[in-house]
Amino acid sequence: MINIELLVIGGGPAGLSAGIAAGKCGVKTIVVDENPLPGGQLFKQIHKFFGSKEHKAGTRGYKIGEQLLNEVDQDGVEVYLNTRVWGIFDNNIVGILKDGKTQKVKAQKIILATGASENAIAFKGSTLPGIMTAGAAQTFINVHRVLPGKKILMIGTGNVGLITSYQLMQAGAEVVGVVEASQNVGGYDVHANKLRRAGIPIYLGHTVIEAKGDIEVDGAIIAPVDEKFKVDKSKSFLIDCDTICFAVGLTPRIELAQMVNAPIIYMSTLGGYLPIHDNRLKITEDIFIAGDISGVEEASTAMEEGSLAGVAVAMELGKLDKNKGVKEIEEIYKRLAKLRSGQFGSKRASAKEEIIKKQMEMKGGFK
Amino acid sequence: MNKKVDVIVIGAGVVGGAIAYYLTKKGKSVIILDQDEAASGASGGNNGQISIIDREPGIELDWAKESMKLYKEYEEIDEFETDLELTGGISLFYNEDEIRIGREVIKKYNEIGYHCEILIGEDIKKQEPYINTEIVKGAAYCKEEGKLNPFSITLGFIDNAVEKGSKLFNKTKVLDFKVKDNLIQEVITNKGSFYAEKVVVATGAWTRDLMSKLDLDYKIFYGRGSLMVTNPVEACIKGPIVPGCFTIGTLYEGDWNLLGLTQHKNGTITIGQDTRSFNDYNKGISYEGTVHLAKLFSEHFPELINLDIIRVWSAITPHVADSLPIYGFSGKYHNLFVAAGLKGAFTIAPAAGKMAADMILEDTYDHRVEEYSPARFEKGEKYEN
């Protein structure tokens, strides 16, 4: 059995930031990730980040990933790759699968930074080869440098859909259109306008009702939908494509939180069911969360939340002076407030407040 | 103040549910209380098997027989799905000794009309083609065993009772009782007090705790079982599979080789094991139990090792010190009826619930359940654990 002060589950932006924050305070930390590379989605993100300088604006995603890895290394945090966590049991015993064998890790504190998984939608033919999530397409082009197809139809105009479409185009594919069921583009106009300038049609108020093809996709039938999302099949038409990508939202990966019986809440603005946490991202006596598991946001918020959880753990373990820690957390909250402002951000900010309020209302505190 | 009703049923599991269902059918006003929610304890955490040959001939087998008829009735009069399927079931034996005892045991069931036989070696594969006969040397087959859907049944009882006017209070924990003249006057909960003519306690493993509030010491303990469920797959396991030691009474404390499983109508396989951790309140999941269970399953079904486990949980089940149910009116509190410790409750709950409703309303009294009376634990001596 491995004994450790802090186990961070998930080596994406939140998990690495948590490891760095705790490691800096001298907390003996292990970060585990089931992938062969740490960094989560950052290594697929070749675009520059927005926002202010403190949020690494202007830096490309994979560069941020490299910076985080460097810091983790400097802080003496161990990173176990190809390591899957399969369960959390009594007394903070965590079952990990490493090198084909299961073993136990006993951690004083645990941070869940398990992220989110991509959603899919179902229609006739939606399991044909050639249909994949936007994240999968991004992995093809940005990690493995392979085009998933030549003519791509994207479903969803959130930032993931818009950015991936643009990157597919940059990688040499033809993006034949972006389909969006609602009447408005979901993501930032900056990204949408880049596509428009490149002449890529954005079909607002449309949805895919069928994928055509015998052994793989060779077309998609799309049809208009009204404001109540009712499909008008009489006006459907065929789009020639060999690949269909889903960019239809993300769902927090909360299985491990459920396994420790953390109370769960439904928040549609944050991606669905989430563990209820306090203002230090704590969900049970010894377990914290950070990043998309606490509500689907962005890499920048995930990094701040990771730092927050890392600082909170260091304080609880007595490795960080209380006053100093409180001050650091205040600073993090100031930065988070900036990230959670504006048209989209403010909705997330109030959803987050609601969760924290809910936690305070719960009787008996943590288990 | 809550209005006084005819009966309060504490515990929304299959036993409490069946009792509430029949009381409601007889036109009584019923309130069902549960500290969590319906089917959240052992009734929602088991393999859903019909077990016959682990019961002594007598009232339990009568209940079992009647219950199978009642399950059909529930479906026929379109009240709820039970997914009942009498597939036959097997109890596993690992050595010659167990097989020998097994032969003796099934004799008494054959004598009273059950279709049981001992399967040896490759014959076991006629029932379960994927089982590893290098480990499993023999099995007791019983044609009258089978499987059902525990959720659908428990919720079916309760939803029906609620539809007909009974009330279910979830997350309602009984904190205390107010008693006068040997009658329970008031059931005090975290959501206020409830009043009824009669009180039914059907709280499974939690019964001892609850009864301590009435200064009663029912010798009922808990065991924690670990279970897991796979993704839905094609039909590959026919009937319920249970550890033979339950059938032949060769269970030793600390015994780990306890594998039980059922493949359900939707294709999922639940795999369970009693970890023999007595008096363990903890509803958490043990690392050792889970790893051991996965290992046991893969040894027994080497061809099925690539199934995905999608969820793991634990269930707290009751064990009564003398292995008999606690069923009947209390001798000390005249309006208190207890129905707890009914082993493999899904096999007998419909009939036991129906009889309980009759007894509660004083329509009948059945001498066959005399030895189950809670009064045997009400003589005053405290049980040293």
Q: Over the stretch A193-223, which tens digit does the pLDDT of each residue have?
A: 999 999 999 999 999 999 999 999 999 999 9
CB distance from A104 to chain B under 8 Å? yes
pLDDT at B383: 47
Average pLDDT by stretches of 10, chain A with 367 residues: 97 96 97 88 74 68 85 91 92 93 96 96 96 95 93 96 95 97 92 95 97 96 93 96 97 94 94 96 97 94 97 97 96 94 88 93 67
Is the predicted pLDDT of residue B385 greater than 50, yes or no? Answer: no
Chain A: residue nearest B291 by CA? A102
Least Cα separation, residue B131 to chain A (angstroms): 25
Among chain A residues, CA nearest to B226: A89
- pLDDT tens digits, B298-349: 999 999 999 988 888 888 888 898 889 999 999 999 999 999 999 899 999 9
Looking at A246, A279, A300, the residue that finishes a domain is A246
A93 in contact with B at a CB cutoff of 8 Å?
yes
**Domain end marker among A203, A221, A246:** A246
CATH architecture of B89-143+221-320: 2-Layer Sandwich (3.30)
- Chain A partners within 8 Å of B284 (Cβ): 89-90, 260-261
| Of A9-18, A234-243, B22-31, B253-262, the least confident | B253-262
Which residue, A246, A279, A308, sits at the end of a domain?
A246
What percent of chain A has pLDDT above 70?
96
Cβ-defined contact of A95 to B285 (cutoff 8 Å): no
Superfamily of domain B4-64+150-219+322-377: FAD/NAD(P)-binding domain (3.50.50.60)
C-alpha to C-alpha distances, B69 to A140, A261, B55, B64, B234, nearest whole angstrom: 58, 38, 18, 9, 29
Question: Inter-axis angle of helices B150-163 and B14-25, to 10 degrees?
Answer: 30
pLDDT at B275: 59
Do both A29 and A73 map to the same domain? Answer: yes
Assembly ipTM: 0.70
* Residues A100 and A130 both lie in one domain: no
With a CB-CB cutoff of 8 Å, which residues 231-290 of chain B face chain A? 282-287, 290
Query: With bands split at pLDDT 50, 70 and 90, how would you rate the model's confidence at B62?
Result: very high
For residue B286, list chain A residues with Cβ-Cβ distance below 8 A.
89-90
Report residue B272's pLDDT band, with 50, 70 and 90 as the boundaries: confident
Residues A71 and A96 in one domain: yes
Q: Determine, yes or no, domain membership for A93.
A: yes
In chain A, residues with a C-beta closer than 8 Å to the C-beta of B283 are: 261
Q: Quote the pLDDT of residue A183.
A: 93
Query: CB contact, 8 Å: A261 with chain B?
Result: yes
Q: What is the model's pLDDT at position A22?
A: 97
Q: Do A102 and B291 touch (CB under 8 A)?
A: yes
Percent of chain B with pLDDT over 70: 93
Range of the domain at A109: 2-117+250-361
Mean pLDDT of B16-24: 98
pLDDT in tens, A16-75: 999 999 999 999 999 999 988 888 887 777 777 766 666 666 778 788 888 898 898 888
**Interface A-B: count of C-beta contacts within 8 A:** 25
| Contact B312/A at CB under 8 A | yes
The pLDDT of residue B281: 60
Count: domains in chain A:
2
Angstroms from B313 CA to nearest CA on chain A: 8
The reply to whether A128 and A185 lie within a common domain is yes
